[in-house]
Structure 1
Amino acid sequence: MSVVLEVDNQVYTAEDLVPLLIQYQILPKLAQEILTDQAIAEIKCSEEENSTIFEQFCQQNQLESEEQVQGWLDKQGINRQQLQNLITKKLRIDKYKQETWKDHVDAYFIQRKSQLDRVVYSLIRVEKAEVAQELYFRIKDDQNAFSALAMEYSQGTEAQTGGIIGPVEINAPHPKIAQILTTCQPGQLIPPTRVGEWIVIVRLENYISAKLDQPMRQRMLDELFNRWLNESIQQKVSFLPSPVTS
């Protein structure tokens, strides 16, 4: 059987590679690439797009002549058409996302919005309930004391920022803290609450409602594509036992 790979003077045949693909858990990624290539098979780039992407590829790889391009192809073991497919793949995937899900983005965003809203909040966490109670009353008497008390007493990394955390998406904090933040108003100070091993004092500083701007629209398209890809893996891909060889 012919050699298809050489690494540090060690040669591998196609038969050698199958166990390695399994060992290094590369088969799931390979299945993703196959399914993606099948999906975008009919997606084309314009001549201008092909030319621009090829020029960018040559610049990035410092290929200044046709001989250097051919040398790169020979080293990689691919031909010119395979190269063109490779370097235009991202653009063709983006086109596929647009064609397939552009009319679903608004509804999907509404479905996801409650998880995409962001918060800025202040946090103090301590181990002892009596310490938390004392700090709570001191902050209640002087709202401006939160930052200084957080730096002095809080036992997490938030001490370095005066207790301020965020902006973060609402589902980023501990679920109990996230639940608190979704039910209070900006500026509202929450009494000491046990969260796991800590007693926490929380104050919501700002609630930032997610908007369907262009970056968010792209994120929704990416999520819809990834959801489709994961579902396709579950439905269409089977990883069969490797045959035992003597």
Structure 2
Amino acid sequence: MNTIKCINKEVYELLSRNQLLNSLIKSELINSILDEREVTEEMKINIKQNIFKNQNLQDDDQFNEWLKSKNSTEEELIHLITKNQRLETYCLEKYSHMAEARFLKRKDGLDQVTYSLIRIKESFLAQEIFFRIEENPSAFGDLANQYSIGSENSSRGIVGPVSLNQGHPQLVSLLKNSTPGEVNQPIRIEDFWVITRLENLKKGSLNDETIKIMSQEIFNDWLDDKVKEIANKLHNSFKFNTKK
């Protein structure tokens, strides 16, 4: 974080005026973390092998020439390429023990739902379409294409997969309590009559990928708070009002 300590009032004003202060702080925080994360020999070997293969390089002389064309050194390039991997490892080591609690808090948002939808204005038409679908379930797509006034008419009524908690609360509640494959009675949501059918509900699970995502989200929350804290300290130290 030495870069932040070197900021004087003039530089602070310049960064703030161009809305670059928070980006700089965030970048420096991440760099300070990654400076402590070692690039292993295995990482270096794999990266170099991939570059040789992708760039059709035959030996180190060609590799060095390629580096020159990129205005980079081997060390700079490897640190850049491994940045995401090292940050991911850091997040898992630091926050994976908190992943389950965040998962339980965010579970509805991690459930993925696919459903069929028809939106129309007239209640009598909604009821008529509902009965037609009950008689012939395969007609849902054609009827959505013909009658639905939302964007779903171009996808034959299919919406998703999307996060379960997206959309109007009434729709979310309806889908949560639906049985896959059964068409729901029309309900009024704001200005529309809505006919739905749950096609598939994929429950979120606490697997390795989810733990990684939750750990990264926790880190990002910490990072945002830290950026605000440092930015406020700079603001107070220079007693300079900026528009945000």
TM-score range, shorter chain: 0.7 to 0.9
In the alignment, is the contact (CA less than 8 A) between 2:181 and 2:199 conserved in 1? Answer: yes
Cα 1:113–1:157, aligned 2, differ >3 Å: closer, same or farther?
A: same
Higher strand share: 1
Residue number among 184, 202, 208 corresponding to 2:202 in the alignment:
208
User: How far is the alpha carbon of 1:110 from its aligned partner?
Assistant: 2.6
Mapping 1:88-127, distance limit 5 Å: 88-127=82-121
Mapping 1:1-246, distance limit 5 Å: 21-54=15-48, 56=50, 64-70=62-68, 72-73=70-71, 81-238=75-232, 240=235
1:12 — aligned with what? Answer: none
Letter in 1 for 2:122: K
In the alignment, is the contact (CA less than 8 A) between 1:19 and 1:242 conserved in 2? Answer: no
Letter in 1 for 2:118: I
In the alignment, is the contact (CA less than 8 A) between 1:73 and 1:80 conserved in 2? Answer: no
| Partner Cα distance (2:79, 2:15) in 1 | 23
TM-score, normalization: structure 2?
Answer: 0.76
User: How far is the alpha carbon of 1:134 from its aligned partner?
Assistant: 2.1
CA deviations on 1:84-139 (whole Å, 9 max, x unpaired) are: 43333222212211210222223332332222111121100112223222222322
Structure 1 vs Structure 2 CA RMSD: 3.3
Secondary structure at 2:195 match in 1: strand
Letter in 1 for 2:139: A
Secondary structure at 1:189 match in 2: coil
User: How far is the alpha carbon of 1:167 from its aligned partner?
Assistant: 2.0
Identity %: 32
Instruction: Identify which of structures 1 and 2 has the higher relative contact order when contacts are C-alpha pairs closer than 8 Å and 6+ apart.
Output: 2
| Partner Cα distance (2:48, 2:18) in 1 | 32
User: Which structure 2 residue ranges, 5 or more long, are not aligned?
Assistant: 1-8
User: Which structure 1 residue ranges, 5 or more long, are not aligned?
Assistant: 1-14
Matched positions, count:
227
Higher helix share: 2
| Partner Cα distance (1:163, 1:128) in 2 | 18
Secondary structure at 2:93 match in 1: helix
| Partner Cα distance (1:234, 1:16) in 2 | 20
User: How far is the alpha carbon of 1:81 from its aligned partner?
Assistant: 4.8
TM-score, normalization: structure 1?
Answer: 0.75
| Partner Cα distance (1:59, 1:31) in 2 | 37
